[in-house]
Amino acid sequence: MAERRPWHYLVAIGILAAGWEALAIALAVPAFPRLGPALVALWQGVAEGELLLHTWVSLCRVAYATALALILGVPLGLYLGRSGGPIGSVLVYLTHPIPKVVFLPVIMVVLGIGDLSKVFMIFLILFFQILVTVRDGAAAVEPGHLIAVTALGARGWQVYRHVVIPATLPRVFTALRLSTATAVAVLFFAETYATTHGLGAYVWDAWSARDYDDMFAGVIAMAVLGFGFHTAADLLERVCCPWVRAQVRE
């Protein structure tokens, strides 16, 4: 994988901007404004502080849900991948495909309509993405590596520490990138009910008022939020998995 340079980002943004402008001109409908008015609305929302507040609220919700999904999903995925057996796999197969959104009425009744229910809704969806990815990564560890480390006397936690976790860690960051993208998508749904703060509520209110410039300003803010989470995951992977970059260069 080639190293990304600053000009790569500029070119990518230019391509997206050109595509936006071309599509807006081709559609010629108020519901899809030109890029200029959307950027002006974005700047005004940031300058007034309103959009920053909504972004901060959304960031906190996604961060809490993602952290909880990692804390619970990674250890359980490691266990299921190495020691869970067929029963654990069947349990995952039975529960993972269930659309978690159907539990929203129950979640609202049990946890209320505040932040807790929204964070839990996002967590519930992210948890299974992380769980399945980590489980598959742990199950795919090279048997030769396990044989070698056990031949040197490693047992139990030492096998996990020296082989299973390092081998699975890149999968964890892959799961993190995938889950944060999903989290931002779920965020819109989670913030469209019983709340006045968050980017989902901001976009929904703007759409209801037919203020399409503000609506797309919120969409851009959600894209920037997702990009920020992706970038953070990349930086963490560079720190925690330096051997991956070395292998790529080789």
Structural domain includes residue 39: no
**Strand, helix or coil for residue 142:** coil
Residue 143 sits in a domain whose CATH number is 1.10.3720.10
Is 218 within the bounds of a domain?
Answer: yes
Computed over its alpha carbons, how large is the radius of gyration of the chain?
21
pLDDT digits (tens, 9 = 90+) for 161-219: 777 888 888 888 888 888 777 788 888 888 887 778 889 899 999 999 999 999 999 99
Kindly state whether residue 122 falls inside one of the protein's structural domains.
Answer: yes
- The rounded mean pLDDT for the chain is 84
Residue 1 lies in a domain: no
Question: Residue 85: which domain range?
Answer: 49-249
Task: Identify whether the C-beta of residue 122 lies closer than 8 Å to the C-beta of residue 187.
Answer: yes
> Could you identify the residue written with the tokens 């020296």?
162
pTM of the model: 0.84
Question: What is the tally of structural domains in the chain?
Answer: 1
C-alpha pair distances (Å), 30 with each of 22, 27, 106, 124, 207: 14, 9, 38, 36, 11
**Position 105 in a domain:** yes
